[in-house]
Structure 1
């Protein structure tokens, strides 16, 4: 553990005072840390043991996933069956079925591990990032329809659980991925085929099928928003993502005939704001706000996009107009990051490059850019309306969410919580930014876009569900956290997590675990203190 003097000096360097005694945590590396490029987390890579060791049970959800051969994706054809089961089955019967399946599967895994002699290569494989189960990442399963209940069979780890000998030595029981009833019954009868056997063509057919379902739903005279949310939870195909985001955010009406008129009216309204307010950026009362916006935009990611003059001007106008029209909060650092995903998704329709991060926006026609700017403003505004207490004076929303995260983690994984406490790492020191920037500084932009597919599908996704995503994100690094025995090293790890190579597969695992935690704790009256 670092000395008191070193810790105080490090804490003083990492934080600055702001009104209301809130301590912002900025300055950690962004884009997300890549250990292969920086070469500073070599010690995080486990060495192969000199002697064979007994294969141990996975201690994290990701390790459980890597050791699971059962296909857990419900697929599009099971949705109606899931809904019917949710309405008709007793929850205790469903829960018992799930536990029996998990128990049988665990026994089969243990027998298989005893037959396969552990070697250095195998042990190293267990400790590293789980590989893709097939030639392409298996898409995450979609949640059951909100109105039909929840069949993700999970039991709260805080209820009626007696730890076994293995748990007592290594910490709380790992959180295993839950299964829906049709899959549980299938697994009990022998299990579906290993997803690793699925060909890339089969996955492509599935993606094409999902895209077709989106197009059919969006082509109707009145889009069923509940069905659209259900489809969008496990990811939105890129061709239909712009219109889907506009619908889910409430910017566009469900009635197809009203959309064109709504777009025209809202775009004209935005540029009326620009004409009326934007010249005020030079006034004495607004100079500080505009100057801060102008300073923050070049620090945003991706730099190749935000440093383009056309993009900089668009972001400056959006952020300044929003700040002028929301005097209760005004502009706060962190709001600037929330503009990027909307802009990238909406402008992506009009650029040839597959990767919008490196696209030359100046080639997009001026009238198209005007429409993208207005759409981005209104969707960002609707997002901020739901989390505005994060950015009012003293940022009480973030303070509350950080406390809720601390209480939630203490109930989910007491060992990790006590480890952070023992080394005097406070949740505010790393989780403030997670709440303030919605994890945008922690994961690549492509992962943020995928996260927001689900956030816009969940009730209060950017506020309540984000809390469970942050808890799952913290516990994703459980092993690395417990290996650190120093305050400074722990804080550096938590502020520079190696996620630069993350993609849809890692995000799908994160969201599945967050959904599990939500199911287990969201309706428990005392699962966190308010």
Structure 2
């Protein structure tokens, strides 16, 4: 058991990704607030639908399948591609190749075998793609996948795949069973698939009135970079669905934002506001990515955005954690003016001044829309976060009792690591590219940042169950949970996490008796 001194010291580290950096809890400006003692937890808990599971299961599963059937995106536009491929392939060849891909994936994930270690007879044929497996043969693929997930005794794994579920649709089953490395796919087929998906977005956005419901469904599986900026603005409610109204709306909102700058920004040196501005000025250099944020023009933009938001929202004011929520919007919107692939290190000074002004205003308004839905996370004592951490604890106890008991036995409290997960929306836990992909789905989910984020956090914690159960010390457990090895994560990892989170939502949203004690 850990001493009180050890627990206090590691409680202070929750803001830092680097062990040994002693700082106060990231975003906590007040003592911990127990919603149960104050009688606010039950009142503030989001209302869970009480409709019986059986009454909605059919429609819910169909919606689930539509929202997550993007693993291969075999839509109507791909029928011709599949037909051509089917002419030259038979079922036996397709199944043999799919089995090899699944077996190779299981070996890489569970047994530390690098792709290069495969024998020549195991190398999948580049001309054959797993998407060509028919729906009738899916059961065979799944059974083969599950029969190859075991590892020899004594072997270790750096990445523990999320558990499969029979309730997952075809696309999620493929993702969980074994998504092949990009090198195993035909580059031409991959580019055709990406081009087809981009065309769907462009067609949807080109109409006189964008169908926002269809746009959400299409965006759940990720948004192509060329249309991400306009899609985020539409999904956040910043831009109207009517195309003709958009230019006037943009001009009006941008003008309104800079009127705020003229009216409020000079007051940052006033005694009543100087503490707020000083804290913002201190926090911005700590943000990520440093190569982008520390550019003078970017620093000035972030200071203005955060200060104006704090002045106009006195109920919460500025709280550490809000600053991180600026970056994804800024990066996505600046990509419209920067051709570089790695925007983290892009030189913003080459962007025209007028374009930077537009990006700044758009970032402010979209961030404001996001915060409107989670503002109780940042009011006095941050009751929204306290409540969500409590719900997360209850959810994990239902999902994986062994992990929950292990944390409890070693006196690791959820607030010690999950506070930051809620305060920063996992931005400190995964790379920026993963955050942007995550937000594609959050923007397309109802109350994505407030409600669906809970299921993502639950899936994220259980994702590391093997490593968690392997730690037998309070300090090592807390250090691991505060410094998770996600530096090399990509879209595939995020898609897998989202598929599991949606499965959890599907199971628990219609089962309130399992959701809370």
Is 1:284 aligned to residue 295 of structure 2? no
Q: In structure 1, how many angstroms separate the alpha carbons of the residues matched to 2:180 and 2:433?
A: 28
- 8 A contact 2:29–2:319 mirrored in 1: no
Which of 478, 482, 507 is the equivalent residue of 2:465? 478
Query: Does the C-alpha gap of structure 1 residues 499 and 181 become closer, same or farther in structure 2, counting only changes over 3 Å?
Result: closer
Normalising by structure 1, report the TM-score: 0.71
Give the alignment of 1:187-226 within 5 angstroms: 198-226=185-213
Question: Alpha-carbon deviation of 1:180?
Answer: 6.2
Q: In structure 2, how many angstroms separate the alpha carbons of the residues matched to 1:406 and 1:298?
A: 32
Which of 102, 106, 110 is the equivalent residue of 1:126? 110
Q: In structure 2, how many angstroms separate the alpha carbons of the residues matched to 1:195 and 1:488?
A: 36
Is 1:21 aligned to residue 32 of structure 2? yes
Q: In structure 1, how many angstroms separate the alpha carbons of the residues matched to 2:24 and 2:226?
A: 42
1:143 equivalent in structure 2: none
Cα deviation 1:172-227 (Å, max 9, x = unaligned) = x97314566678999xxxx9998986412111101000000100000000000000
Which of 375, 380, 383 is the equivalent residue of 1:393? 380
Query: Does the C-alpha gap of structure 1 residues 8 and 286 become closer, same or farther in structure 2, counting only changes over 3 Å?
Result: closer
Cα deviation 1:123-162 (Å, max 9, x = unaligned) = 78515599899889x999xxxxxxxxxxxxxxxxxxxxxx
User: Secondary structure in 1 aligned to 2:327?
Assistant: helix
Query: Does the C-alpha gap of structure 1 residues 477 and 195 become closer, same or farther in structure 2, counting only changes over 3 Å?
Result: closer
Query: Does the C-alpha gap of structure 1 residues 194 and 391 become closer, same or farther in structure 2, counting only changes over 3 Å?
Result: closer
- 8 A contact 1:139–1:505 mirrored in 2: no
- 8 A contact 1:465–1:518 mirrored in 2: yes
Question: Alpha-carbon deviation of 1:354?
Answer: 1.1
Q: In structure 2, how many angstroms separate the alpha carbons of the residues matched to 1:288 and 1:139?
A: 58
1:76 equivalent in structure 2: 75
2:354 equivalent in structure 1: 367
User: Secondary structure in 1 aligned to 2:514?
Assistant: coil
Q: In structure 2, how many angstroms separate the alpha carbons of the residues matched to 1:476 and 1:284?
A: 47
Which of 414, 424, 427 is the equivalent residue of 1:437? 424
User: Secondary structure in 2 aligned to 1:301?
Assistant: coil
Normalising by structure 2, report the TM-score: 0.73
Corresponding pairs, count: 412
User: Secondary structure in 1 aligned to 2:278?
Assistant: helix
Q: In structure 1, how many angstroms separate the alpha carbons of the residues matched to 2:210 and 2:455?
A: 29
- 8 A contact 2:162–2:463 mirrored in 1: no
Q: What are structure 2's unaligned runs of at least 5 residues?
A: 13-21, 35-69, 79-94, 117-122, 132-160
Q: In structure 2, how many angstroms separate the alpha carbons of the residues matched to 1:523 and 1:303?
A: 43
- 8 A contact 1:74–1:180 mirrored in 2: no
1:273 equivalent in structure 2: 260
Give the alignment of 1:111-190 within 5 angstroms: 125-128=109-112, 175-178=163-166
Query: Does the C-alpha gap of structure 1 residues 397 and 9 become closer, same or farther in structure 2, counting only changes over 3 Å?
Result: closer
- 8 A contact 1:139–1:234 mirrored in 2: no
Query: Does the C-alpha gap of structure 1 residues 357 and 181 become closer, same or farther in structure 2, counting only changes over 3 Å?
Result: closer
Question: Alpha-carbon deviation of 1:300?
Answer: 0.2
Q: What are structure 1's unaligned runs of at least 5 residues?
A: 24-70, 80-104, 141-172
Query: Does the C-alpha gap of structure 1 residues 270 and 78 become closer, same or farther in structure 2, counting only changes over 3 Å?
Result: same
Give the alignment of 1:242-321 within 5 angstroms: 242-321=229-308
User: Secondary structure in 2 aligned to 1:352?
Assistant: coil
Query: Does the C-alpha gap of structure 1 residues 273 and 204 become closer, same or farther in structure 2, counting only changes over 3 Å?
Result: same
User: Secondary structure in 2 aligned to 1:526?
Assistant: helix
Give the alignment of 1:476-515 within 5 angstroms: 476-515=463-502
Q: In structure 1, how many angstroms separate the alpha carbons of the residues matched to 2:228 and 2:442?
A: 13
Give the alignment of 1:381-420 within 5 angstroms: 381-420=368-407
- 8 A contact 1:236–1:453 mirrored in 2: yes
- 8 A contact 1:387–1:463 mirrored in 2: yes
2:221 equivalent in structure 1: 234
- 8 A contact 2:10–2:478 mirrored in 1: no
